[in-house]
């Protein structure tokens, strides 16, 4: 997608990818899915700083596998960034297949014990970890899927998120594309509803209070 006003980060822009991964990793430390996933490390008395280091690796993995498909966008000043892709630009691959390619950086950073605990927790959380559902709902029709977005802490309250998302939403409307995402908190659900998303359904997993809320922003015919 060529989005006016946004930078499309390319696979060879390694430092930019690292900068965005740091911002997203730090931001998502506050997100309920990741809080729950990382809680598996509490048995090791893992510090917040260590969890943050692991999160930077997680997001660098995600961004690197999506960048070849124009799946990473940012404001020019990097105060906000998003991981989002147009389904047709995946060229026949799927989100699940891309996710299977991640893990390089996390494996380099994490210990074997940390990886074991995180893998076990991820398996338990699988019912609330459905991230490749939009293409099934769309039955192969083109759409946009947001797998992450974040605002630099120093830029919160400045309107950076709207500056990031409004051009993407305008593109979606111009091309008749629905937008999809999921979230795990009341606060985020309400914020996304304010941005034009609506709740589709909710997914639950035994033993976890956190649950997945799947949402859609339907294309607006102008």
Query: Which parts of the chain register pLDDT below 50?
Result: none
pLDDT of residue 138: 96
Nearest Cα residue to 179 out of 140, 151, 147:
147
Burial of 211 (0-12, 13-18, 19+ CB in 10 A): middle
Asked if residue 2 belongs to a domain, the reply is no
Whichever domain contains 153, its CATH number is 3.40.630.30
Residue 80: which H helix or E strand, with range? strand 80-86
pTM of the predicted model, to two decimals? 0.95
Residue 169 maps to a domain: yes
Residue 181 maps to a domain: yes
Q: Is residue 222 part of a domain?
A: no
pLDDT of residue 76: 95
Q: What is the pLDDT of residue 119?
A: 98
Query: How confident is the model at residue 222, as a pLDDT?
Result: 66
Phi first, then psi, for residue 156 (nearest 5°) are: -65, 140
pLDDT for the residue numbered 175: 96
- Cβ–Cβ under 8 Å, residues 168 and 82: yes
In a domain, 136, yes or no: yes
Instruction: Tell me if 26 is assigned to some domain.
Output: yes
* pLDDT tens profile 170-222: 999 999 999 999 999 999 999 999 999 999 999 999 999 999 999 999 999 76
Which range marks the domain in which residue 212 is found?
Answer: 7-217
Tally of domains in the chain? 1
* Tokens read off for 205: 């997993």
Distance CA 172, CA 208 (A): 34
The pLDDT assigned to 140 comes to 86
Residue at 46 is within a domain:
yes
125 within a domain of the structure (yes/no):
yes
Q: Is 192 exposed, middle or buried (0-12, 13-18, 19+ CB in 10 A)?
A: buried
Calculated CA dihedral for residues 6, 9, 10, 13, nearest 10 degrees = 130
Give residue 126's pLDDT: 98
């Amino acid at each position: 997608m060529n989005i006016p006003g946004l930078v499309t980060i390319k696979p060879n822009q390694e430092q930019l990818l690292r900068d965005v991964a740091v911002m997203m990793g730090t931001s998502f430390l506050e997100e309920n899915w990741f809080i729950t996933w990382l809680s598996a490390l509490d048995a090791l008395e893992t510090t917040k700083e260590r969890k943050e280091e692991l999160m930077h690796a997680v997001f660098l993995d995600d961004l690197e596998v999506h960048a070849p498909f124009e799946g990473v966008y940012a404001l020019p000043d990097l105060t906000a960034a998003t991981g989002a892709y147009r389904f047709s630009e995946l060229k026949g691959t799927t989100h699940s297949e891309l996710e299977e390619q991640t893990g390089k950086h996390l494996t380099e950073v994490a210990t074997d014990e940390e990886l074991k605990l995180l893998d076990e927790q991820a398996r338990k959380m699988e019912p609330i970890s459905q991230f490749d559902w939009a293409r099934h709902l769309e039955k192969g029709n083109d759409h946009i899927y947001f797998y992450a977005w974040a605002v630099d802490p120093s830029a919160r309250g400045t309107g950076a998120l709207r500056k990031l998302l409004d051009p993407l939403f305008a593109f979606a409307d111009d091309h008749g594309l629905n937008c999809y995402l999921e979230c795990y908190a009341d606060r985020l659900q309400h914020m996304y509803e304010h941005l034009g998303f609506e709740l589709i359904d909710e997914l639950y997993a035994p033993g976890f209070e956190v649950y997945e809320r799947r949402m859609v922003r339907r294309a607006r015919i102008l």
